[in-house]
Amino acid sequence: MKKRPLVVVTRRLPGVVETRMRELFDTRLNLDDKPMAQGELVEAVKSADVLVPTVTDEIDASVLAQAGPNLKLIANFGNGVDNIDVQVALSRGITVTNTPGVLTEDTADMTMALILAVARRMVEGARVIPEDEWAGWSPTWMLGHRITGKRLGILGMGRIGTALARRAKAFGLSIHYHNRRRAPGTVEDELEATYWESLDQMLARMDIVSVNTPHTPATYHLLSARRLKLLKPEAIVVNTARGEIIDETALARLIESGSIAGAGLDVFEHEPAVNPRLLKLARQGKVVLLPHIASATHEGRVDMGEKVIVNIKTFMDGHRPPDRVLPSML
Q: Which residues are catalytic?
A: 242, 271, 292
How far is it, in rounded angstroms, from Cα 277 to Cα 265? 13
How far is it, in rounded angstroms, from Cα 306 to Cα 277? 39
Element (H, E) at 8: strand 6-9
Asked if 150 and 207 touch (Cβ cutoff 8 Å), the reply is: yes
Q: What contacts 85, CB < 8 A, 6 or more positions away?
A: 59, 60, 61, 64
Sign (positive/negative) of CA torsion 304, 305, 310, 316?
A: positive
Q: Which of 278, 297, 300, 299 is nearest to 289 (CA)?
A: 278
Q: What contacts 53, CB < 8 A, 6 or more positions away?
A: 10, 41, 59, 74, 76, 77, 83, 84
Query: How many C-beta atoms surround the C-beta of residue 218 within 10 A?
Result: 10
How far is it, in rounded angstroms, from Cα 329 to Cα 134? 52
